[in-house]
């Protein structure tokens, strides 16, 4: 199929949100894994709550509030120095290993990010990771003052790139984002990163397994992706 633009989600799709784990473990010891997973889950939950309440605060503020929640929930005091170190990791998340190669292979169409991240967070992140030059646009939901999966967020793609939604392929690893983008009218590719959350021989759920069980599956929402791929480099084959 021919697309004029391929638009990527950032967190969990181009960038590994689990790459904060090493730092949370360094700073929080054996509570680091729980902090990592609760932090991300509350980050998403707070974005949805803000969107539903119509009370917008940017993603940096949401990320800090969710970090405070995560630390307190496991009995760690959210001191200023601790939070600054952890928050700064969100400005320098690890890109997935294949991200550069995938973006470099898609020169026949416009390449963009659409993310819940604030304008400052995303600008800092794409420059720190060296992919800024591979993108035609980095679009923050700051412009819509709400969060995905609100249709106003996906509409920013058409407004920014001047390309109709029928000509856009949206790529995300997040089930809620896949559902939202498909409902809006994009063709959608789902990066299936999570894998199985448990094995039959060991059904116990640790923090990481619980996160994958909750966020790594397609949502039961009647909005299925058009394509399912394993890695970012598989996206080029869809063209």
Strand partners, 189: 171, 227
Q: Please report, for residues 28, 68, 117, 136, 175, the alpha-carbon distance to residue 149 in angstroms, rounded to integers and kept in the order given.
A: 32, 24, 13, 22, 10
Are residue 133 and residue 227 in the same domain, yes or no? yes
By DSSP bridging, strand 110-115 and strand 137-140 are: parallel
Catalytic choice (9, 16, 58, 142): 9
Q: Mark whether 146 and 160 lie in a shared domain.
A: yes
3-state secondary structure at position 163: coil
Looking at the fold, whether 110 and 76 belong to one and the same domain comes out as no
Query: Where does the chain show beta strands of DSSP type E?
Result: 5-8, 15-16, 94-95, 110-115, 137-140, 168-172, 187-191, 227-229
The pLDDT assigned to 203 comes to 61
Beta carbons within 10 angstroms of residue 187's beta carbon = 20
Q: Which residues contact 223 (CB under 8 A, 6 or more apart)?
A: 178, 179, 180, 182, 183
37 shares its domain with 70: yes
Same domain, 67 and 157: no
Tell whether 122 and 231 lie within a shared domain.
yes
**Distance separating the N- and C-terminal Cα atoms of the chain:** 5
pLDDT value for 197: 43
Residues spanned by the domain of 166: 5-16+92-238
Residues 85 and 186 in one domain: no
Per-residue pLDDT of the chain (239 residues), as tens digits, is 689 999 999 999 999 999 999 999 999 999 999 999 999 999 999 999 999 999 999 999 999 999 999 999 999 999 999 999 999 999 999 999 999 999 999 999 999 999 999 999 999 999 999 999 999 999 999 999 999 999 999 999 999 999 999 999 999 999 999 999 999 999 999 999 765 444 444 566 677 777 777 777 778 878 899 999 999 999 999 98
Same domain for 176 and 63?
A: no
How many folded domains does the chain comprise? 2
**142 and 36 share a domain?**
no
The encoded tokens of residue 109 equal 């169409």
* Residue 89, pLDDT score: 97
Q: What is the CATH number of the domain that holds 84?
A: 1.10.150.240
Query: What percent helix, strand, coil does the chain show, rounded to 5?
Result: 50, 15, 35
The answer to whether residues 141 and 153 touch, using CB atoms and an 8 Å cutoff, is yes
Residue where a domain stops, chosen among 59, 89, 119 = 89
According to the model, what pLDDT value does residue 205 have? 67
Tell me what pLDDT residue 1 has: 66
Round to whole Å and give the CA distance between 15 and 3. Answer: 23
9 is catalytic: yes
Q: Which of 60, 58, 61, 86 is nearest to 71 (CA)?
A: 86
Tell whether 107 and 181 lie within a shared domain: yes
Phi, psi for 155 (deg, rounded to 5): -65, -20
């Amino acid at each position: 199929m021919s697309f004029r633009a391929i638009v990527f989600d950032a967190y969990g799709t181009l960038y590994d949100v689990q790459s904060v784990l090493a730092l949370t473990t360094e700073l929080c010891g054996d509570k680091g894994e729980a902090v990592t997973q609760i932090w991300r889950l509350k980050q998403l939950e707070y974005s949805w709550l803000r969107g539903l309440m119509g009370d917008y605060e940017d993603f940096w503020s949401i990320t800090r509030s969710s970090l405070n929640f995560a630390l307190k929930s496991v009995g760690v005091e959210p001191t200023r120095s601790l939070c600054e170190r952890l928050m700064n990791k969100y400005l320098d998340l690890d890109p997935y290993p294949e991200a550069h190669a995938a973006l470099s292979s898609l020169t026949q169409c416009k390449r963009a990010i659409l993310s819940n991240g604030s304008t400052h967070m995303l600008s800092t992140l794409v420059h720190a990771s060296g992919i800024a030059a591979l993108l035609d646009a980095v679009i923050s939901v700051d412009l819509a003052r709400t969060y995905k999966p609100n249709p106003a967020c996906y509409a920013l793609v058409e407004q920014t790139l001047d390309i109709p939604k029928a000509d856009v392929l949206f790529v995300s690893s997040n089930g809620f984002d896949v559902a939202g983008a498909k409902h809006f009218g994009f063709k959608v590719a789902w990066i299936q990163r999570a894998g199985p959350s448990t094995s039959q021989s060991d059904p116990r759920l640790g923090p990481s397994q619980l996160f994958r069980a909750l966020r790594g599956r397609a949502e039961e929402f009647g909005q299925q992706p058009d394509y399912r791929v394993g890695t970012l480099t598989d996206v080029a084959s869809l063209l």
